[in-house]
Amino acid sequence: MERYKVIAVIPAYNEEHNIAKVILQTKKYVDVVVVGDDGSNDMTGEIARALGAIVIRNNKNKGKGYTLKRLFAKALELGADVVVTLDADGQHDPKYIPRLIEPLINDHADITIGSRYVGSPPRDIPLYRRIGLKIIGLFHKPVIREVRDTQSGYRAYTRKVVEALARELQVIGYGTETEQVYLAKKHGWRIVEVPITITYGTEKPSKKHPVMHAAEILTSLLKLVTHDRPLLLLGLPGILLTLAGIASATYVVWLFNQTRYFSVPATLIAIAFTFIGALLVTASLILYAIANLREHNVRTKA
């Protein structure tokens, strides 16, 4: 069988209590471990380096997406054929790495996602996480139907995919998983979800309040969809509001001609609808032009 170079990349922020175990277990299944120290103010980077991991460090906390983009670039520089991402908090068990990379090596997928929802349904997810994932899932469904666990950060990628992600990722925070799935749909990459089990009993499993975490993910999704389909999501509502404004203005004129009564409420509604509609149409055209320019630049660089 052909030999593939597998590199694991681990974004980490203040994980001195968990990083050693994660690195030592991950090294059993990959050729190189690269840790992205996202401006930690503890011993995360020092411990990782002492255990033989390659460490890249942000001078301050930049966000998971920003760190992953740097890690992808480093993995490419090191000659990776397959890249695995997993979290530094110990929730992702490295024993599943062979299961994740198998579909890539056999050319059955371009991306694999370690999914909580394939196979036996998870039972130990904390209530607040369960509610948050349900809400996020509802917002994702109209846009990303094919993937059940869009928020899993336990993934594996072919080199071709990593090359594109290193160029195109824009989201700097926790919305990066959403952006990756969205880019996969855009590029036609094959995604396979494989069953894994998540451990939720780790110390400090989240660095951000759950509500803020969910809000950041949903904001990223809205930004991605709006940027990619501005004419549909902004232009169409803008046209409808403009037409409603014109209809309201026509009604005001008709009513005045019939009764000599000037309706202030109807006039204000007409002005508001027309103004907001025109604003949305203008914004959609600008975003459409920006999206086309960005797509042209990406194709040119590629």
pLDDT digits (tens, 9 = 90+) for 50-74: 999 999 999 999 999 999 999 999 9
Domain that holds residue 261: 230-301
Per-residue pLDDT of 246-296, as tens digits, reads 999 999 999 989 998 988 988 999 999 999 988 888 877 776 666 666 655
Q: Which of 172, 201, 228 is the last residue of a domain?
A: 228
Per-residue pLDDT of 130-154, as tens digits, reads 555 555 454 445 445 578 888 889 9
Whether 192 and 264 map to the same domain: the answer is no
Residue 218 corresponds to which tokens in the numbers above? Answer: 């949903």
The rounded percent of the chain whose pLDDT value lies above 90 is 53
Whether 142 and 276 map to the same domain: the answer is no
Per-residue pLDDT of 190-227, as tens digits, reads 999 999 988 765 545 455 555 555 555 556 555 655 55
Whether 181 and 248 map to the same domain: the answer is no
CATH number of 180's domain? 3.90.550.10
Whole-prediction pTM value?
A: 0.68
The count of structural domains within the chain is 2
Q: Between β-strands 82-85 and 155-158, what pairing exists: parallel, antiparallel or unpaired?
A: antiparallel
Q: Which of 185, 203, 228 is the last residue of a domain?
A: 228
